[in-house]
């Protein structure tokens, strides 16, 4: 009985296999007949002629094809071996795709520096050899210090035209002047507090810049500016001839070329610029922008569609117990404008302890921030609200209430440990002096002094921090900020009292005539007469 059942299953599987094979063979034959050559829509005339001939030949022979397996005649076609396209092919369902190559000729230019702009029919190109469609083309070659070379060339199919560019030295003249910023706030520094114009010239030379008030009276002559490249920027920082800030209002900037005797020549180019107060732009290091890993809070937000990237390196300089360089810190931050009133940021902190044997004392931290501006830009008083969440890679030793592998010093945002915080930065500035305050409330499982036996640790702690300070504009490119801060005892553990250390900080920032600025940092932490730590470092930042 078992043998019979196995035999029946074998017979059934055999019939199913034969049936499937015949079905596939029949389907292949019926679908291939009459469609053994599929021509490309974009084939050229010669390929199309051969395609049609192949299709006609296929249609005439489709009934004479035989299947190699069973000897049964099918509708499948067979290619003639004499066909030059298909010699030796035994299948009829091959698809040949013919891609059309647009007709073109070649233009080759000689006699000019490689990399100079080449304008072909108004389209900028780089190089000296170009494939062009047949027809007439207008060619321009622009090399700084020479007159624009131009010509019209006729390009024919499958041919190469060689042209030699004859460069003629150009006389100095201004081609155009573009206003890059139509308003300026003199309270800003460097790149952010100046009107910027881009001057386009034909050759090296010099230009002058004059500032006129609304009555066309000369406010300040500037220059001569030596122009050494085809496009170069010139600036006005909003001051008069005595270095004083000009009153708010509209001014005219006049740019004109100078000859060898420093006398005006050629066309004048005039642009209006508006001097006004408003949002003070800065490039702080911190990812939060409201209390920072260092000292200076910022109640402003980035301009819409702008962003800021900064990095800094800080080293331990002095303390009673530890040598110089015992703690090394790097900080990198990114801030992104979300709208006219909001921004987000990310700060990455790495702390290395090269003179400490326990590797667990090295740690890395991540801080995500968001800030919402609460006041208008025209007001000298500014306020914002910021939220910050932090994660640090160091952990406490849960087996002991009085120990932890490593607690970082309080300089890090005054012990900005794992947790959440909310801050309300406030500032007032009307002129070279800016006053600021940053009250902050923080919730964390960490407490700065795990060994003082005051509270069990780890636990939930809620404390407040207040930072006060001032920022002074020393000169056009330089700002100096000083600040001090202290932290309270945990608000959920007792009364509102202050605790050491006292944090003192200084920042000296230099703003250049570019989006980049440089900052020097100094920090002192005082925990008592014989308990202190001093840190210092440098940073670079830019906003774009």
DSSP 8-state class, residue 279: P
pLDDT at residue 87, as a whole number: 43
Do the Cβ atoms of 196 and 235 come closer than 8 Å? Answer: yes
Cα 507 to Cα 169, 333, 471, 523, distances in angstroms = 51, 17, 9, 9
The strand order across the sheet containing 231-236 reads 174-179, 195-201, 231-236
pLDDT at residue 210, as a whole number: 94
pLDDT at residue 500, as a whole number: 75
3-class SS of residue 181:
coil
Could you give the residue range(s) of every CATH 2.60.40.1120 domain in the chain?
105-164
Name which of 18-22, 131-135, 149-153, 380-384 the model is least confident about: 18-22
Cα 445 to Cα 16, 395, 422, 454, 506, distances in angstroms = 71, 10, 16, 15, 29
Long-range contacts of the stretch 435-438 (C-beta < 8 A, 24+): 435/469, 435/470, 436/296, 436/297, 436/299, 436/468, 436/469, 436/470, 436/471, 436/483, 437/297, 437/466, 437/467, 437/468, 437/469, 438/290, 438/291, 438/297, 438/465, 438/466, 438/467
pLDDT at residue 55, as a whole number: 55
Structural element, H or E, at residue 79: none
DSSP 8-state class, residue 520: E
Could you give the residue range(s) of every CATH 2.60.40.4070 domain in the chain?
174-275
- Report whether pLDDT(32) > 60: no
Sequence-distant (≥ 6) Cβ neighbours of residue 525 within 8 angstroms: 409, 410, 411, 501, 502, 503, 504, 532, 533, 534, 535
Residue 364, both tokens: 């890395």
DSSP 8-state class, residue 239: B
For residues 531 and 136, which has the higher predicted lDDT (pLDDT)?
136
Do the Cβ atoms of 532 and 524 come closer than 8 Å? Answer: yes
Phi, psi angles (nearest 5°) of residue 35: -140, 40
Pairwise CA distance, residues 168 & 170, whole Å: 6
Neighbours of 11 (CB within 10 A): 10
Mean pLDDT value of segment 179-202: 83
Q: Which residues pair with 275 in a beta bridge?
A: 184, 249
Model confidence, pTM: 0.61
Residue 88: pLDDT band (50, 70, 90) is very low
174-275 CATH fold: Immunoglobulin-like (2.60.40)
Residue 157, both tokens: 């199919």
Could you give the residue range(s) of every CATH 2.40.160.40 domain in the chain?
307-396+420-543
Neighbours of 248 (CB within 10 A): 12
3-class SS of residue 184:
strand
Q: Of 3.60.40.10, 3.40.50.720, 2.40.160.40, 1.10.3720.10, which CATH number belongs to 307-396+420-543?
A: 2.40.160.40
Q: Which CATH class is domain 105-164?
A: mainly beta
Q: What angle do CA 486, 491, 495 make, to 5 degrees?
A: 90
- Report whether pLDDT(38) > 50: no
Q: What is the pLDDT of residues 454-508, one digit of tens each?
A: 777 667 888 888 888 888 888 778 888 888 888 888 888 777 777 777 888 888 8
Name which of 32-41, 149-158, 197-206 the model is least confident about: 32-41
Q: What is the pLDDT of residues 505-543, one digit of tens each?
A: 888 888 887 888 888 988 888 877 777 888 888 888 887
Do the Cβ atoms of 226 and 253 come closer than 8 Å? Answer: no
Task: State what percent of residues in the chain have pLDDT above 90.
Answer: 18
């Amino acid at each position: 009985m078992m043998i019979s059942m196995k035999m029946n299953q074998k017979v059934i599987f055999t019939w199913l296999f034969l049936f499937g094979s015949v079905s596939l063979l029949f389907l292949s034959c019926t679908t291939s007949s009459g469609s053994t050559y599929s021509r490309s829509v974009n084939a050229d005339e010669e390929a199309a002629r051969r395609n049609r001939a192949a299709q006609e030949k296929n249609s005439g022979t489709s009934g004479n094809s035989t299947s190699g397996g069973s000897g049964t005649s099918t509708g499948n076609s067979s290619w003639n071996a004499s066909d030059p396209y298909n010699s030796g092919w035994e299948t009829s369902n091959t698809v040949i795709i013919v891609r059309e190559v647009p007709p073109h000729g070649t233009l080759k230019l000689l006699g000019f520096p490689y990399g100079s702009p080449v304008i072909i029919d108004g389209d900028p190109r780089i190089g000296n050899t170009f494939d062009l469609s047949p027809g007439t083309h207008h060619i321009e070659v622009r090399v700084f210090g020479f007159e624009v070379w131009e010509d019209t060339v006729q390009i024919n199919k499958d041919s190469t035209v060689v042209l030699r560019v004859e460069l003629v030295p150009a006389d100095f003249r201004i081609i155009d002047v573009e206003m890059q910023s139509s308003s300026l706030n003199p309270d800003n520094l460097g790149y952010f507090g100046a009107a910027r114009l881009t001057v386009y010239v034909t050759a090296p030379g010099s230009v002058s810049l004059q500032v006129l008030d609304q009555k066309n009276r000369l406010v300040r002559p500037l220059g001569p500016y030596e122009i050494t490249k085809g496009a170069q920027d010139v600036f006005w920082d909003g001051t008069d001839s005595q270095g004083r800030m000009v009153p708010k209002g509209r001014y005219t900037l006049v740019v004109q070329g100078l000859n060898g005797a420093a006398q005006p020549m050629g066309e004048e180019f005039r642009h209006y610029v508006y001097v006004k107060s408003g949002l003070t732009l800065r490039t702080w290091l911190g990812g939060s922008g409201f209390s920072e890993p260092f000292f200076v809070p910022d109640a402003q937000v980035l301009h819409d569609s702008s962003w800021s990237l900064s990095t800094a390196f800080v080293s331990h300089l002095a303390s009673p117990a530890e040598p110089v360089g015992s703690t090394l810190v790097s900080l990198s931050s990114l801030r992104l404008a979300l709208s006219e009133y909001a921004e987000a940021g990310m700060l990455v902190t790495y702390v290395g302890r090269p003179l400490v044997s326990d590797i667990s004392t090295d740690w890395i931290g991540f801080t995500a921030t968001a800030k919402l501006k609460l006041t208008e830009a025209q007001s000298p008083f500014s306020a914002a609200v910021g939220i910050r969440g932090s994660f640090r890679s160091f952990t406490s030793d849960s087996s002991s209430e009085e120990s932890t592998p490593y607690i970082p010093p309080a300089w890090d945002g005054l012990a900005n440990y794992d947790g959440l915080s909310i801050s309300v930065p406030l500032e007032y500035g009307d002129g070279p002096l800016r006053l600021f305050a940053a009250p902050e409330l923080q919730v964390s499982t960490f407490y700065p002094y795990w060994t003082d036996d005051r509270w069990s640790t780890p636990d939930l702690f809620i404390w407040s921090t207040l930072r006060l300070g001032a920022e002074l504009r020393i000169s056009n490119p330089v700002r100096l900020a000083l600040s001090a801060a202290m932290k309270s005892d945990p608000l959920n553990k007792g009364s509102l009292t202050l605790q050491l250390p006292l944090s003192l900080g200084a920042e000296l920032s230099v703003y250049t005539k570019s989006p980049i600025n440089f900052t020097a940092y100094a920090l002192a932490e005082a925990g008592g007469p014989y308990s202190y730590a001093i840190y210092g470092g440098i940073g670079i930042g830019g906003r774009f």
